[in-house]
């Protein structure tokens, strides 16, 4: 069986679907009998999902206005 | 929500707006600002970790993009090109702060003990729902800020802005393997930091 530290090194590639089929299968077999690695993979996936689910806040109106004014001032410069 | 009159530009693609802006239509560029200012501000906040620097970097990024429009030939998405500029502006601000005067994105990544995840507890199914929106934002921002700049910059581009590995590598002038190794470290460190908030049985 692949050792745990090798699994850890491949977590990103696994979660990004960038593993070749053979390694993917080995990793999934490892996960079946290694609860620690399974938890680490699941919670790493959740970490990514939490950040990806965050929408950016609208800009404060004052900052938005300042930015637009700066663009127009820059444009009008001779 | 911040809105600006769009003068009929709202339905145009970024590329069409760029062409109009190149021809001198400032309203077209204003619409590009409207579209991307929130994400660019989030990016400059994450990289600089400082509100004042983030606001300056935001403005400098759009002004630089406006002045450099003639050099944009549509080889990439306008947004990706803008992100590259915003990353550079943010890194310049970061380097001016005393905490990271000489940091370089391509310094080698050492594999120390922090490479190994420490917490092996499961999380709730929808851990983010344990917290009010503002509180959640503070937890996530705090976790990102605790990462070293070389890790958080890669993480922010890949997992917050959702650029591809290749786009991230191009934006940061790093190799694809370097992006991948930094991303893995960043994800694992964030996972460890968030476990105490999101772990089953942890107190919200």
pLDDT digits (tens, 9 = 90+) for A53-73: 888 888 999 999 999 999 999
A1 interfacial to chain B (CB closer than 8 Å): no
How do the domains of chain B map onto residue ranges? Answer: 14-96, 113-198
Choose among A46, A52, A60: nearest Cβ to B162.
A52
Q: How much is the ipTM here?
A: 0.91
CA B119, CA B82: separation in Å to the nearest integer? 37
Q: What is the pTM of this model?
A: 0.87
Question: Domain count of chain A?
Answer: 1
Q: Which residue out of A71, A72, A74, A78 would a mutagenesis test of the B interface target, given it has the greatest number of B Cβ atoms within 10 Å? A: A71
Nearest to B43 by CA among B158, B128, B131, B132: B158
Tens-digit pLDDT profile for residues B143-173: 999 999 989 999 999 999 999 999 999 889 8
Contact A56 B30 (CB under 8 A): no
Number of Cβ within a 10 Å radius of residue B2 = 16
What kind of fold does domain B113-198 have according to CATH?
Arc Repressor Mutant, subunit A (1.10.10)
Q: In 3-state terms, what secondary structure has residue B44?
A: helix
Q: What is the mean pLDDT of residues B13-35?
A: 95
Task: Give the CA angle between residues B26, B29, B32 to the nearest 5°.
Answer: 155
Residues of chain A falling short of pLDDT 70: 78
Q: Which residue out of A5, A10, A47, A60 would a mutagenesis test of the B interface target, given it has the greatest number of B Cβ atoms within 10 Å? A: A47
At A73 the pLDDT is 94
At B102 the pLDDT is 59
At B75 the pLDDT is 86
Query: For the domain with range B14-96, which CATH number is right: 2.40.10.10, 3.30.2020.30, 1.10.1740.10, 3.40.50.10490?
Result: 1.10.1740.10
What is the distance in angstroms between the Cα of B86 and the nearest Cα belonging to chain A? 14
Contacts of B74 (CB under 8 A, 6+ apart): B15, B18
């Amino acid at each position: 069986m692949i050792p745990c530290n090798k699994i850890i090194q491949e977590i990103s590639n696994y979660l990004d679907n960038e593993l070749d089929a053979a390694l993917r299968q080995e990793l999934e077999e490892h996960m079946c009998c290694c609860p620690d690695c399974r938890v680490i993979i699941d919670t790493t996936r959740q970490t990514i999902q939490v950040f990806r689910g965050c929408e950016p806040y609208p800009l404060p109106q004052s900052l938005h206005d300042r930015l637009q004014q700066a663009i127009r001032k820059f444009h009008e410069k001779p | 929500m911040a809105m600006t009159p769009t003068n009929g530009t709202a339905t145009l693609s970024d590329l069409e707006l760029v062409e109009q802006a190149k021809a001198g239509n400032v309203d077209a560029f204003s619409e590009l600002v409207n579209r991307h200012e929130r994400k660019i501000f989030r990016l400059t906040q994450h990289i600089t970790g400082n509100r004042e620097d983030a606001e300056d970097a935001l403005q400098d990024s759009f002004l630089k993009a406006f002045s450099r429009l003639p050099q944009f030939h549509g080889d990439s998405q306008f947004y990706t090109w803008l992100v590259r500029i915003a990353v550079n502006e943010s890194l310049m601000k970061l380097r001016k702060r005393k905490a990271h005067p000489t940091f370089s994105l391509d310094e080698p990544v050492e594999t120390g003990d922090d490479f190994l995840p420490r917490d092996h507890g499961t999380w709730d199914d929808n851990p983010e729902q344990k917290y009010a929106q503002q509180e959640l934002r503070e937890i996530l921002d705090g976790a990102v800020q605790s990462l070293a700049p070389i890790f958080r910059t890669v993480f922010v581009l890949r997992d917050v802005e959702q650029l591809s590995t290749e786009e991230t590598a191009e934006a940061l002038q790093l190799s694809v393997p370097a992006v991948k190794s930094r991303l893995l470290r960043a994800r694992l460190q964030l996972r460890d930091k968030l476990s105490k908030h999101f772990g089953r049985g942890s107190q919200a």
